[in-house]
Amino acid sequence: MAGLPQRTPMNDPATLTPAEEQAFLDEAAAHCRQRGASLTPIRREVLTLLRRQSGGLKAYDLLDRIRAVRPSATPPTVYRALDFLIDQGLAHKIGRTNQFVACNHDCHDEAGLFLVCPRCGRVTELRDEAALAALASTLEAAGHTLAGPEIEISAVCRSCSGAHANAC
């Protein structure tokens, strides 16, 4: 997925153009084809909804949104699509909030750092090789290894920090 557009403060999902969103989805479909899989219409719709929501979505929120275009959709439909997207490295499950987010990075060989704002629920994915290496080394020294690829950190986002500072 080397060509996937990265979601950064400059291309937040709310500001992506239709062309950028289409390029992301086309690259995601190509990534799946390279792995012998198919980004079906329902999977594509779920990925689109995740990509547009910076704070992540719970499965039943996704189901409600999918039902707007596919009234017969059921919970297993959404869960199968989410499992597929996670297996393909296109989405992540954030256990702390039981939400799903679209992946913002094109490398899934290593763990990802996810900052979860305890105030608004916004999820920010970081790729910091030095921090990951230091964490892996520290865990190894303590006799532990990561149980999964998502490392969740509770961290107040910039918007909430600013709102809190203004409230004081």
What is residue 13's predicted lDDT score, i.e. its pLDDT? 55
Q: Would you kindly state where each structural domain of the chain is located, as residue ranges?
A: 16-102, 112-167
The stretches in the chain having pLDDT less than 50 are: 1-11, 167-168
pLDDT tens for residues 51-70? 988 778 999 999 999 999 99
pLDDT, residue 132, reads 85
- CA pair distance 107, 77, nearest whole angstrom: 27
CATH topology of domain 16-102: Arc Repressor Mutant, subunit A (1.10.10)
Which residue, among 12, 5, 59, 6, has the nearest Cα to 158 in the 3D structure? 12
112-167 matches 16-102 in CATH topology: no
pTM: 0.78
Q: What is the mean pLDDT of the chain?
A: 84
> What is the per-residue pLDDT for 68?
93
> Does domain 112-167 sit in CATH 3.40.50.150?
no
Please tell me the distance from the alpha carbon of residue 69 to that of residue 65, in angstroms, as a whole number: 8
**% of the chain surpassing 90 pLDDT:** 48
Q: Take residue 11 and report the two structure tokens written for it.
A: 């291309």
